[in-house]
Amino acid sequence: MARGEPGQERAAWSATAATRVLAPTLLLGALTLLACQTPPPPGPAETLRQFLRLMDESAIRSGPSGEVLTDEDALKGAYGLLSAQTQASLRERSDLAASLAGGDYQPWDVLIPGRFRLRFQPVAFDETITDGHPRRATVRVRGRAAAEVAEVPLVEEDGHWRITLDIPHAAEASF
């Protein structure tokens, strides 16, 4: 077949057209596959940063009529970053508060913003992870002054890092 004959031109056009259609389709498919992948859960230091941010957002404020306001969504979010053991301790305390006061208390209502926050402005977060079952981590938070240091323990539960707070068991009421 000589150059320029109809069959040869059709074959060359088909290969070029296929490349033009196939290359963007493959690229789009690869990008879609990458976009659909779930990012890994945050590490211990980032989990602690989220908790501190949510506790700051939940800070108690006075409303226009002098009522006390908290951001309940922020408290729920902070509660969700706590270990199962810490959540159980808060649930125990909220149940006791409800039985004593006769109200409805949720476990995140027991989180007091001023009690569960750093007393300094953090400038560095260093994490140390210990392998084991379950894996544990310690995040060392440092402030500007040498004395501004806090160590926060975390535990890995269901593939996510959760903060472990030392909350004593609620005492039963004795009347």
Q: Report yes or no on 99 lying in a domain.
A: yes
Ranges of residues in the chain whose predicted pLDDT is under 70 = 1-36, 60-63, 66-69, 113-115, 171-175
Q: Please, what's the b/e burial string for 80-97 (b: 16 or more CB within 10 A of its CB; e: otherwise)?
A: ebbbeebbebbbebbebb
Q: Report yes or no on 13 lying in a domain.
A: no
pLDDT tens across 35-46, in order? 667 778 889 999
Q: Report yes or no on 171 lying in a domain.
A: no
Look up the pTM and report it. Answer: 0.71
Q: How many domains does the chain have?
A: 1
Q: Report yes or no on 5 lying in a domain.
A: no
Cβ atoms of 125 and 139 within 8 Å: the answer is yes
Total length of the chain: 175
Q: Report yes or no on 150 lying in a domain.
A: yes
Q: Domain range holding 52?
A: 44-163
Q: Report yes or no on 66 lying in a domain.
A: yes
Q: Report yes or no on 80 lying in a domain.
A: yes
Q: Report yes or no on 28 lying in a domain.
A: no
